[in-house]
Structure 1
Amino acid sequence: MTDSTPSPRKAAIYLRISQDREMDGLAIERQREQCEALATYRQWEVVQTYVDQSKSATDRTKVRPAYDRMVSDYKAGAFTAIVCYDLDRLTRQPRQLEDWIDAAELRGLALVTANGDADLSTDGGRMYARIKAAVARAEMERKGARQSAAQRQRAMQGRAPKGMRPLGYATNGDVIPDEAEAVRAIYALFTRPAHPESLRSLARALSGTQDIEGITPRPRHSHVVSKERAQRRIAEGKEPRTIEPDGPWSPSTVLGILRNPRYARMSTYTPKTAQADGGRRRSWRAQILRDDAGEPIRGQWEAIVDDETWWRAQDILDDKDRVTNTSGSTKRKHLGSGLYRCGVCGGKVTGAPRGYGCAGHITRTGPAIDDYVTRVISARLSQPDALRKRKTADDTPETAGISAAIAEQRGRILRAQRDYDDEVIEGRDLKRIREAAEARIAELETERLLQARGSTLAPILGVDDPAAAFQEATLEVRREVIDTLATVTLRPHPRGRKGFDPDSVEIQWR
């Protein structure tokens, strides 16, 4: 005589908590006890328990490893019943709920909750589950809207955002001096015209595997932050969480530092609807909050880098040629790019493949012009009164303030150019902003020259042969000397005349 007693149904228990701040597992254990008691009451055999601790089910893009493993095991036939504490512990996504309802209707899955509110084996239970999921979804969206509004309001007021602190800033927005120096060094080395450093080389220098002057190796930032959090918990009498291990810096972390508008004291807010720009641009454009005049909202914290430096970094990162540049070089290749002026409109010319150009006005061959300018400047430097043979400090508060104001105006021009490229403003707006900013820059630069010659001229000032020193100096120093001594204007090349015409290059001494 055979035993006709049916074998018990095989069941899985799923446990989840969105955020376990104490990480002591007590909340999960309370769910486990009630789910196991329900399985015993139903006379089901628990074959597997799946646990997602501190895993949200609200965001469908978030990975829940235990949940995904449970879905795979169910499809493989490992069990035919699921027990969870509450329906929203299993899922907060209506689409996922419908998958489980289909499994209950079509494949006989038994899904019950320990609080007794849901039983997908009945039509009433399935109706209740759908209603509850819709209500939970609506409440989640309302909560998200309230949180987003609060975050945006905080950003509009220029208050430091919550969350993980960036390198260089404390959680309250105060500057951490040694970290801020590291941030400044990263920007300076990445944006310097002569031999700029790459993301990879900067990451190696921070990790201590490559020597770069100006960069001091330091622990990975995420490791430092996790240690700080552990220390705070100990001070509060709580058990510390696991400290993230130290390791090498990654280029992506350096990229994140260079992309962060907060370092230039720009308040940021990232809406959930913001889409990444693609490529290396990420979503930094959508992060910068602006006032009614289109100017960035300034944060209530100290800037670590100036506007111009931050926008220069964005120019380099957004340069499409840089992506395919196998040599890794992003340095400026033209002596007069952004320095010489157009003889038609007065604007600054840009570097072209063979020289200089101003759209619709002039196109000039570069080497002959640069040679001529170099010879004229060298001759001027040979004269005793060209530059005083003494160094004048430029680190006074007055000069520093002037430099900051110039950088802000240059950053304004760069922002306007970006807005024009993105079709946020029209050409006439770009022209108006550029002309106003350049006029102010000219005033400030004159004032700065009266204050000091600048430390970048140190290789030229005080030497016996300034002309020779100028010819052997770096591109940046030569540009600074030219900008200090003269204004170079390029006229259209005379038609019908072959060869270089010195009269087409006007040099006005300051």
Structure 2
Amino acid sequence: MISYARISSDGERDEHGVSDQHRVNRRTAQRLGLRVVAELTDNDRSASKAGVVRESFEAMLKALESGRLPDGTAVCGVVVLNEDRLARRAGDYERFVESLTAEDGRVFADERGRKDLYAEDVEGLGLVGVAFSRIEARKVRRRMKRFHRARAEDGKPAGGTRPFGWAEDRLSLDPIEAPLLAKAAKDFAAGRSLNSIIREWQRDGVRTSLGNEWSSRSLRVTLANARICGWRSLHGEIVTDDEGQPIVGKWEPIVDPATWQAIDAIVRMRKGRSVGPDGQPGNVLAVDFSEHRYLLSGIVRCGKAKADGSPCNGPLRARRFRGNEEMFHYVCQPKSQGGCAGICRHGPKTDEYVSEMVLAKLEEREMQAPRTEAWGGSEELETVQGQLDDLGREWRSGGISNEFFFANVRQLEGRMTQLRAEQGRHAAAAKRRVVGVESIRRRWYLAEADGGLDISQKRAYIREALHAVLVLPAGRGRAAYDPNLLQPFWRNE
């Protein structure tokens, strides 16, 4: 007989890896004078959800249809703990009955004993049992949803693995991890790339709460979780109270809400986007998805004129010279790769001049404008929030129908999400302006080990100031480097 078990991922097992259900199945088979020839397990696979493939269940049906296991061993039946561990969908139960009864004389048994699936009324009773099991499964899921919603609305932390940055109680901060996460959040909001942070953590031996090495995905998920600013989220959405304000959790926050909103805006801006040939994802400020080795890759562009008089405009790529690790040039790609191969410019000098251009522009803007400009969408955000509150009160009082409420609430919530993303992007830019230009200039030329800006942070400031830099031809011969041949295209000009 085949012993089939569907168990959860944390189900009890003995020292040989045998689950409790299989041990019961073995005893049942022995009591009935039968021998178990195979044990099939679907680990942590729901039997009630559509679209879930249970590999062992399918293997069992295949063995019943052929009458043999893949190694040729004959199969005469199936033993399970009880029927609701076998199938909770009518279609699956009917498939099982058809496969088992494909030949006469086969045995089906559970903990209570044999069941004759060849009898006319037994299959009907089994389908009734499946229906009741499915109803119970739905009730359990609803209870679990209400339970998690209630915990979220009370500001209680979610279960699962201990979150990085907090102690085992999930409420107080870990004295070592929390400062690391706070610095990473602020650096990421200020423009530093995930890979740069990960490389630093790997160098310092920083591990996740499970002891694994960090990856871009794991760090992005950690930073994008509203938990780090003290807000409670559920299924990726911020849980709010009756007034539409975020629920504040009972744990200690690591960063302020403005920093997290800046992070959330960056993550949402990158989600589902790809960087095009011009280096920009759509109509938003281009961001670096990985750590660059060169400061101006994709920012400097070829200014050599084509036959029609327009510039080539191909992005210049860095080319390092053999035998000299410090020397490189920015060059236009060959025609086969979309360029014209007509521009080659000294890399370190180009980096230096463009850096000075950007720092000078930042200093100019700092003198001409206030440190932080107010976000222009605050009034609309308050209006939309008020409309949502009014709509919710009318619906709860029975003044409007369900159809009217849900048709309008989705539209308002969509606009609310857009406005909060814009607010987050504004906060991200403000975070980069919090530090004075004098400090930026000083850190620009320091080594990273001495507190200097890394290349991703520098590129963030350059991207914020410039659309691109057009590199014009220098003519023939070995002329002195001429910074006037660098034509910047500033933002907001």
Of 122, 125, 129, 2:126 maps to 129
Which of these residues, 184, 197, 212, is aligned with residue 182 of structure 2?
184
Alignment of 1:77-476 (within 5 A): 77-78=67-68, 79-104=75-100, 110-116=107-113, 118-170=115-167, 171-193=169-191, 196-198=192-194, 200-208=195-203, 216-223=204-211, 246=212, 248-270=213-235, 284=236, 287-319=237-269, 323-324=274-275, 330=287, 423-424=411-412, 456=436, 459=439
Amino acid at match of 1:302: E
State the partner residue of 1:48: 38
> Alpha-carbon deviation of 1:117?
7.0
Partner of 2:477: none
2:5 maps to a residue whose letter is L
Q: Provide the secondary structure at the position in 1 that maps to 2:38.
A: strand
How far residue 257 of structure 1 moved from its aligned partner, in angstroms, is: 1.0
SS of the residue corresponding to residue 13 of structure 1 reads strand
The letter of the residue matching 1:153 is A
State the SS of the aligned residue for 2:234: coil
Tell me the SS of whatever aligns to 2:26: helix
The 3-state SS of whatever aligns with 1:309 is: helix
State the identity as a percent.
21
The superposition leaves residues 61-119 of structure 1 with CA deviations (integer Å, 9 ceiling, x where unpaired) of 66655434334434454235212221122233333212112324555564332313743
Tell me how many residue pairs correspond in the alignment: 341
SS state of the match for residue 120, structure 1? coil
Instruction: Give 1:422 deviation, angstroms.
Output: 7.3
Equivalent residues in 2 for 1:489-504 (5 A)? none
Alignment check: 8 A CA contact 2:25 2:79 kept: no
In 2 relative to 1, CA 372–144 (structure 1 residues): closer, same or farther, beyond 3 Å? closer
Cα 1:315–1:415 shift into 2, 3 Å: farther
CA distance in structure 1 between the aligned counterparts of 2:381 and 2:172, rounded to whole angstroms: 26
User: Does structure 1 retain, via aligned residues, the 8 Å contact 2:4–2:86?
Assistant: yes
CA distance in 2 between counterparts of 1:63 and 1:51 reads 13
1:158–1:299: 8 Å Cα contact kept in structure 2? yes
Tell me: CA distance 1:27–1:325, structure 2 relative to 1, closer, same or farther (3 Å): same
Partner Cα separation in structure 2 for residue 126 and residue 306 of structure 1: 60
Match of 2:349 in 1: none
1:14 aligns with 2:4: yes
Instruction: Report the counterpart of residue 34 of structure 1 in structure 2.
Output: 27
Cα 1:117–1:206 change in 2 (3 A) is farther
Q: Which amino acid aligns with 1:159?
A: K
Q: Is this contact kept in 2: 1:104–1:121, CA < 8 A?
A: no
Runs of 4+ in 1 over 6 A off after TM superposition: 326-329, 370-373, 406-422, 426-431, 473-480
- 1:17–1:56: 8 Å Cα contact kept in structure 2? no
Deviations 1:243-302 (A, max 9, x none): xxx4x32222122112211112111223xxxxxxxxxxxxx2xx2112233221111222
Query: How far, CA to CA, are the matches of 1:49 and 1:21 in structure 2?
Result: 16
C-alpha separation in 1, matches of 2:138 and 2:128: 15
CA distance in 1, matches of 2:177, 2:377: 24
> What is the CA–CA distance in structure 2 between the aligned matches of 1:178 and 1:23, rounded to whole Å?
36
Structure 1 residue runs without a partner (length 5+): 1-10, 209-215, 224-245, 271-283, 334-369, 382-402, 446-452, 463-472, 481-503, 506-510
Q: Equivalents in 2 of 1:428, 1:84: separation in Å?
A: 51
What is the deviation of 1:415? Answer: 7.8
Contact 1:58 1:93 (8 Å CA) reproduced? yes
Contact 2:229 2:257 in 1 (8 A): yes
1:47 aligned partner, one-letter code: V
Partner of 1:390: none
Over the aligned positions, Cα root-mean-square deviation in angstroms equals 5.3
SS in 2 for 1:459: helix
- For residues 262 and 177 of structure 2, what CA distance do their matches in structure 1 show? 21
Aligned to 2:63: 73
Instruction: Show CA shifts across 1:430-455 (max 9, x none).
Output: 99xx99xx9xx9xxx9xxxxxxx976
1:152–1:269 CA contact under 8 A, matched in 2: yes
TM-score scaled by length of structure 2 = 0.54
Matched to 1:37, the amino acid is: Q
SS at 1:253's partner residue?
helix
Q: Distance in 2 between matches of 1:151 and 1:37?
A: 43
Deviation at 1:13, TM superposition (A): 1.8
Is residue 21–residue 81 contact of structure 2 (8 Å, CA) maintained in 1?
no
| Unaligned stretches of 5+ residues in structure 2 | 69-74, 281-285, 289-294, 296-355, 389-408, 443-456, 465-491
* C-alpha separation in 2, matches of 1:151 and 1:185: 31
Higher relative contact order (CA 8 A, sep 6+): 2
1:154 Cα deviation (Å)? 1.2
Give, in whole Å, the separation in 1 of the partners of 2:144 and 2:27.
32
| 1:23 match | 13
Q: CA distance change for structure 1 residues 479 and 455 in 2, over 3 Å: closer, same or farther?
A: farther
2: CA distance, partners of 1:157 / 1:151: 10
Structure 1 pair 125–97 and aligned structure 2 pair: CA distance change class (3 A)? same
